[in-house]
Amino acid sequence: NTASVILYMRTVSTMKLLLRVLYLVLLSALSYGQEPNSAGLDPCLPTQHNILQDSYRSTGYDLRATDTPKCDDKLKSGWYRFQDLNGAPITIPTTCPGRNRCGTVAPYWMNGTLPSVADNIISVQLCTKMKDDAAALCCAEPEKIVMKNCGNFYVYDLFPTMDCQRGFCAGNIIRCTVDQRSLTGFAPCTDRYPVLEGLPVLQGPLVYPDQKFEFRCRVTYNVPIDDGHRFEIAWTFNGNPDPNIQPTILADTQREAVLSGEQMKGHLNKDIGCQVRTFYIDTQDDKSPMRTTNTIFLGVKEQPELIGPTVRNNNKAFDFQCKVNFNSGDTDQQIEVVWLFDGVQDPTIVRRVLTGQDRIATLKGSALKNHINKNVQCQARLIFANGIQTEIRPSNRFFFGIKVNPGSLNINVQDTEKELTVTSTIPVVCNEGQDCCLTYKLSSSRKFVVTLKDTCKLKICSKDWDPDRKQAVFKITVVPFRNDVSSGNKQTTLSFESITLTGSGPYIDILKNHKPTPVPITVKLQAGYTCSLTGDPHVIGFDYPHTYHFYHVGEYTAYEVNDRHFEVQVKTWKCWRVSCICGVIVRERNSIIRVNGCARPGYAHLASLDIPYSLDKGTTVLRSTNGCNIGILLPSGSEVKIDLGGMAMNVYIKTPAFDINKARGVCGTNDGNKGNDFTHRDGRITVPCRNPGGCIPNDFINSWSVAGKNSFFVTTPTKKPSLATTNYCPCDAGNADTCSSTQHPKNTANVCNGCPQITDKIQVRTQGLGTANIIPASSGKQWSDETNAVDEVFFQEELNFAEMMNTRVKRMSDDAFSNNEFLSSDESASNTIPNKRLTRAEKITRDQARDRCNNSIQTSQLYNKCQDMENLFENTLTDCIEDIMLGGTNDMLDSAISSFTTSCQITMAKDMKYYNENEDGSVVLKSEFTDDVCPIECRKHGECDGKGKCLCKAGWEGDTCHIETGKGPQIILTTSDSMCQAEDKICNSVDLMVTNINIFDKLQCQVFTLDAMDEKNNKPDIKPALNEASPI
C-alpha cells in the first residue's frame, strides 16, 4: 500500500527538504504495515533507537524569563524513545501544551492517538503553536513522522527542527515554582522560604507617658513549631538602611522587632520603614526576596493648614485656626504649634501644645494689633522626651492687612482712567455685630494731577466681607487731569487719612491707627490733538504738517470719534470765489450746540447759539461780551474755539490724548502716520500733496460731506440714553469731599479768555408769542454803512397793512433745529454776499498780497513769541495770501491775525516752560500768552494796553470798544419778515440781529400785536407789549 504523504513547504535549505521527502517516501514504501526485516530494521531493538531523557521536555516545564529556550535543531534524524529521570517511558503529548512549554517556545505535540502494538509502524501528525495569542491555531505548520508501539514504550522517527524556536515535548512532570524547592526541581515541591501571612506591619511612633517613644515591626507566621525558620528585619530611613543599626533576626516564637527613639535621633523627619527577609536555617544563604512595610514619617509630614480669618459670633469676633494633619492613635503624642508673623514669632503670643486627638490651635484676631500688613503663618512639630523634636513644618501663609494694587500707578493721559484695587483681608467686626465700618479719607498731595471718581472716601464695612474669598475688595478709579502739555510728568501721592471707626470693641480697635501704604502716582503729560479750520477755509490737521484747503459749499464732518459720540460738523457757504465756514455744530453725546451764522450771507459774525436738548453735566459754553468769540468745553476735556468774522468763522478743535488712533474726518487721522491723513470715509487713502503750498485734496474732503439724515444741519441727532451721573473729586489735601460732574479743570483762558459763561443762558427752543432772541452783531461793524442789502429786513416805520396781511412769511418747522433756518448750499451760492471786493483799480499782485499779509500778521501781540515756530508763520502767511488772491478782498486780514494768535497760544500751551506752576500742582499758561492778549476786535475802535485791557477811543465803550456811546441797541435784521401771523410758529420766537450791545446787558424788545384794522383812519390797530429778550 502506498501512503499518501502531505508535504508542507517551509523556509529551509533545499537539500535538507529533499532528503527529508525521499526518506519518508522510502520508509513508507518499505515498512508500512510490515515487520522489520532480518537485517535489524526493527526500531524497537535497543540498537535501533536512541534514548532522550531531558526533564525540560515535560509539559509541566514552563519557560521563564531567566531561561534560555531549548531546541532540537541539532538533533540527528533517527529513531528515539523518551524516558523520565527515573527511566520510566514517557510519550509525546497528544494534547496542545501551548507556547513556552517543554523548555522551548513552540513545542511539538502529536495530533492523534497512540498506536497499538498491532499497528506496527504508522504515520502521525506533529503540530505546534506558532503565534502567542488565543485565536492562533494550535496546529500550525504540521509535520509527518512515523512511530511504533514497542509494547512497553514508543519510538519515534524524529528529525532536526528547522529553527531554535521548536522542540519535541515528552512527559508531564510539574516544575517547581521560583518560591518552591525540591531535590530535582520538580514535584513534589515544598516552600523555598518560610511564608509570611500578609505584609509585615509597622507601628509608631508609640509614645509613652514619659514621652519616650519607639517603632515596632511585626510579622505573622502561623507555624506553631520551630521548623528552622528565621526572619531578618532591617530598618530603613527614607528607603535606606543605617549601617550603624544592625538587622534583627527573629527565631522560634519571636514575631516583633523594636527600634527605640534613642536610635532615631539622626533620623527625625524621615520616612521610617522595615524590610523583612525569611529563610531556613539549613539554607541561610538562600533568603526570600525583601518584603517592605508601609513607611511612617517621623514628624509632621503634611503642611499644616492655616484656616481663616473666620468671622464668628454674628460679626463680633474673628480668628485664625492652625489644623495639623497628623494621624496617630497615640493619645500621649504631643504637637507643638507656634504662630509666626512675617516669619518671626511674637513672644507675647504663647505656643500651643496639642495632645490627645486635638489637632487644631486657635489664634484670636484681637491679638493681631501689631501684625497688620504681615503674613500670618503657623508651624508645627512633634516633641518627645529628652529634648527630641522633629523639624518644624510651616503652614501656608495669609496676608493679613489692607493692600493697594498696584503699589504705584503710572498713567498716560491717553488713558481715560485707571483703577486701583484695594483688598482688605481684615474682617471689620465689632461688639455691635452690625454696621461695623472703617472709613478713610483719600487725599492727593497735589492738586490738578488726578481726580477720583464719585468719592474721596474709602469705606470698609462688615457687610463687604466675602467669607469664601476671605477678603473685601474695592475699586478706586483714578482719572488724570487733561492738559495741553506735550511732555514731562506730574506726580502726586494718594494717601489714606482721617480714620473713622464705626463700632467698638477689641477686634475693630486693632484698626484704629492703621493706614494703608500711600500710592505714588505719575501722570505722563501728553498734549491732545488740535485741528484748525480758518479763513476760506484752510485746514491744519493732526499729522499732515502743512495746510490744505477746501473750497466747496456744503456740510462736512470735520472730526468724529464714534465710540464716545463726539463729532464736529461745519457748514460752508460761498464767499467771493471760494467758500467760508458759516456754521458749526458740536456734539458730544447729548451736548449738541449749534453756532448758526448762516441765516444771512455775510453775517456769520451774528451767529446765534441753539441747543435741542439740555446739555450734559460738565459742559461749559463761553461767549465774549461782543459775541465774536465762543468757547465750548465738554465733559471729556474736548474743546472747540470759534472766532466769528463777518465772512467766516475760524474753528479750532482740541481733543484729549485718549483719542489717539480714533480721529476721522476732514481734520485727518491722529495715529502719527503722515501718509494716511487723507483717509476717506470708506477707508480709501488719498496720497498727501507733493505741493504743500497749494494742497486741495478734493476727493478726500468730499468723502466727508454729509447730507440728509447724516447732517446735523438737517436732522437733529437722536438723543442718547442718559448715562449714570459720574462725579469727579479732586481729593487734594485739605479739600473737603467736593465732587462735581466736571471731569477736567476748565482752562477757559485758552479757549475764550475773559469770556463769561453762557451755559445756563442757552435755552432749548420754546414756543410762545413774543419771545425774542437777541443775536449780537460784530463789534463796531456798521453794516448799514457798508451795504444796503439788509434794507429789506429792516423794520419800516410806515407799512401797508393790507400788503403785510397778504404776505406769507417764512415758516419754521416743528423741529427747532430745522434746516430752514440755514440756507442750503444752492441758496448760499446764489445769494448776494455783502462784502468789500477789491475794485479793478485795486487789484494787486501776489507779492503785494504777501506784503499786506506779512505786515498784518506782524501786528499780532504774539508775533515776536511765535514767529520762529516751525511752519506757524509760513502756514498763516500762505493762507492769508490765498485769501486775498482767490477772494479778491482784504477782509480776511483780521482772520489771519486771529489765526496766527490762536495757533501760537495752542502751540505754547504744549510746552511746560510757558506755564507758571503753583505749589499745589496747578499750572497756568503765562499771562503774556493769555490774559495780556487783547481781542482782535479791540483794534477797531481802541488799542491794547499790553495787559489785556482795551483802551477805547472817544465815543466808544465796552470790553472791546464795540459799543458806540449814547446810541443804544441797533436792530440790524431778523430771520423773519417784520411781521407774521400769530398762528404761525415763526411768531413763537423771533431772532433779532442787534449791534451796539453787550450781550449780557438786560434787554427788552417791543412787540406790536395787530388785532384789527382801524377802518376810519385806514391804519392798523396796534397794541404794544414789552417782553424780555434772551441773548444767544
* CATH number of the domain to which 374 belongs: 2.60.40
Domain with 908, as residue range(s), is 840-890+892-933
- E-assigned strands of 869-1002? 915-917, 923-925, 942-944, 950-952, 956-957, 963-964, 970-974, 989-995
Per 3-state DSSP, what percentage of the chain is helix, strand, and coil (rounded to 5)? 15, 35, 50
Q: What number is the average pLDDT over the span 848-852?
A: 89
* CATH value at residue 460: 2.60.40.10
Establish if 1027 belongs to a structural domain: no
For residues 493 and 358, what is the distance between their CA atoms, to the nearest angstrom?
49
pLDDT for 69 = 92
In this structure, the answer to whether residues 695 and 825 fall within a common structural domain is: yes
Pick the more confident residue, 367 or 183.
Answer: 367
For residues 897 and 854, what is the distance between their CA atoms, to the nearest angstrom?
10
Pick the more confident residue, 951 or 1003.
Answer: 951
Instruction: Check pLDDT > 50 for residue 30.
Output: no
For residues 470 and 398, what is the distance between their CA atoms, to the nearest angstrom?
10
pLDDT for 767 = 34
In this structure, the answer to whether residues 384 and 498 fall within a common structural domain is: no
Establish if 967 belongs to a structural domain: no
For residues 603 and 890, what is the distance between their CA atoms, to the nearest angstrom?
17
In this structure, the answer to whether residues 699 and 755 fall within a common structural domain is: yes
In this structure, the answer to whether residues 699 and 824 fall within a common structural domain is: yes
Q: In degrees to the nearest 10, what's the CA dihedral of 192, 197, 200, 201?
A: -170
For residues 932 and 947, what is the distance between their CA atoms, to the nearest angstrom?
4
Q: What number is the average pLDDT over the span 160-174?
A: 93
Q: Rg of the Cα trace of the chain?
A: 55
Confidence band of 332 (pLDDT split at 50, 70, 90) = confident
For residues 609 and 584, what is the distance between their CA atoms, to the nearest angstrom?
10
Are 958 and 777 in contact by the 8 Å Cβ rule? The answer is no
For residues 476 and 327, what is the distance between their CA atoms, to the nearest angstrom?
47
In this structure, the answer to whether residues 723 and 594 fall within a common structural domain is: yes
Instruction: Check pLDDT > 80 for residue 702.
Output: yes
- E-assigned strands of 159-253? 166-168, 180-181, 190-191, 201-207, 213-218, 229-237, 240-241, 248-251
Residue ending a domain, choose from 181, 208, 242:
181
Establish if 1032 belongs to a structural domain: no
For residues 399 and 425, what is the distance between their CA atoms, to the nearest angstrom?
7
Establish if 60 belongs to a structural domain: yes
CA separation (Å) from 236 to 205, 276, 286, 287?
15, 11, 22, 19
| Burial grade of 1010 (CB within 10 A; 0-12, 13-18, 19 or more) | middle
Establish if 821 belongs to a structural domain: yes
Mean pLDDT of the chain: 82
For residues 500 and 406, what is the distance between their CA atoms, to the nearest angstrom?
25
Instruction: Check pLDDT > 80 for residue 788.
Output: no
In this structure, the answer to whether residues 517 and 537 fall within a common structural domain is: no
CA 885 to chain centre: 56
Lowest mean pLDDT of 411-420, 743-752, 787-796, 858-867, name the range: 787-796
Are 804 and 705 in contact by the 8 Å Cβ rule? The answer is no
In this structure, the answer to whether residues 281 and 331 fall within a common structural domain is: no
- E-assigned strands of 817-882? none
pLDDT for 94 = 96
Domain count, the chain: 6
Confidence band of 576 (pLDDT split at 50, 70, 90) = confident
Instruction: Check pLDDT > 70 for residue 398.
Output: yes
In this structure, the answer to whether residues 848 and 819 fall within a common structural domain is: no
Phi, then psi, of 279 in degrees rounded to 5: -165, 165
Confidence band of 1016 (pLDDT split at 50, 70, 90) = low
Per-residue buried b or exposed e for 699-734, using 16+ beta carbons within 10 Å of the residue's own CB: ebbebbbbeeeebbbbebbeeeeeeeeebbbbbbee
Phi, then psi, of 87 in degrees rounded to 5: 90, 5
Residue with cell 465796552: 958
pLDDT for 11 = 32
Establish if 1021 belongs to a structural domain: no
For 734-761, what is each residue's pLDDT tens digit? 656 678 877 766 677 778 888 888 888 8
Using a pLDDT cut of 90, give the percent of the chain over it.
Answer: 44
Q: Give the torsion sign (CA, 909, 911, 914, 919).
A: positive
Establish if 706 belongs to a structural domain: yes
Are 551 and 829 in contact by the 8 Å Cβ rule? The answer is no
For residues 398 and 938, what is the distance between their CA atoms, to the nearest angstrom?
71
Are 626 and 959 in contact by the 8 Å Cβ rule? The answer is yes
Establish if 991 belongs to a structural domain: no
Are 746 and 480 in contact by the 8 Å Cβ rule? The answer is no
pLDDT for 21 = 41
- Cis amide bond preceding 467, omega within 30: no
Instruction: Check pLDDT > 90 for residue 997.
Output: no
Instruction: Check pLDDT > 60 for residue 1026.
Output: no
Residue ending a domain, choose from 399, 434, 452:
399
Confidence band of 826 (pLDDT split at 50, 70, 90) = very low
Using a pLDDT cut of 70, give the percent of the chain over it.
Answer: 81
For residues 702 and 268, what is the distance between their CA atoms, to the nearest angstrom?
87
Pick the more confident residue, 766 or 141.
Answer: 141
Residues in the chain: 1032
Phi, then psi, of 1006 in degrees rounded to 5: -105, 125
Q: What number is the average pLDDT over the span 993-1002?
A: 78
pLDDT for 35 = 42
Confidence band of 200 (pLDDT split at 50, 70, 90) = very high
Lowest mean pLDDT of 389-393, 781-785, 905-909, name the range: 781-785
Confidence band of 726 (pLDDT split at 50, 70, 90) = confident
Confidence band of 531 (pLDDT split at 50, 70, 90) = very high
Confidence band of 809 (pLDDT split at 50, 70, 90) = very low
Q: What number is the average pLDDT over the span 712-732?
A: 86
Taking alpha carbons only, the member of 172, 169, 191, 166 closest to residue 180 is 191
pLDDT for 190 = 87
Angle among Cα 523, 525, 527 to the nearest 5 degrees reads 145
Q: What number is the average pLDDT over the span 514-534?
A: 90
Are 668 and 677 in contact by the 8 Å Cβ rule? The answer is yes
Instruction: Check pLDDT > 70 for residue 3.
Output: no
In this structure, the answer to whether residues 349 and 443 fall within a common structural domain is: no
Instruction: Check pLDDT > 80 for residue 667.
Output: yes
Pick the more confident residue, 920 or 9.
Answer: 920
In this structure, the answer to whether residues 810 and 905 fall within a common structural domain is: no
In this structure, the answer to whether residues 574 and 706 fall within a common structural domain is: yes
Are 778 and 993 in contact by the 8 Å Cβ rule? The answer is no
For 300-323, what is each residue's pLDDT tens digit? 989 999 999 999 999 999 999 999
pLDDT for 862 = 85
Residue ending a domain, choose from 933, 964, 990:
933
For residues 214 and 220, what is the distance between their CA atoms, to the nearest angstrom?
20
> 372: which residues sit within 8 A by CB, 6+ positions away?
400, 401, 402, 426, 510, 511, 514
Are 419 and 434 in contact by the 8 Å Cβ rule? The answer is no
CA 534 to chain centre: 43
In this structure, the answer to whether residues 252 and 108 fall within a common structural domain is: no
CA 993 to chain centre: 56
C-alpha cell read off for 132: 502567542
pLDDT for 581 = 92
> 62: which residues sit within 8 A by CB, 6+ positions away?
100, 101, 175
**Residue 574 amino acid letter:** K
Instruction: Check pLDDT > 70 for residue 714.
Output: yes
| Burial grade of 766 (CB within 10 A; 0-12, 13-18, 19 or more) | exposed
For 884-898, what is each residue's pLDDT tens digit? 887 777 777 888 888
381: helix, strand or coil: strand
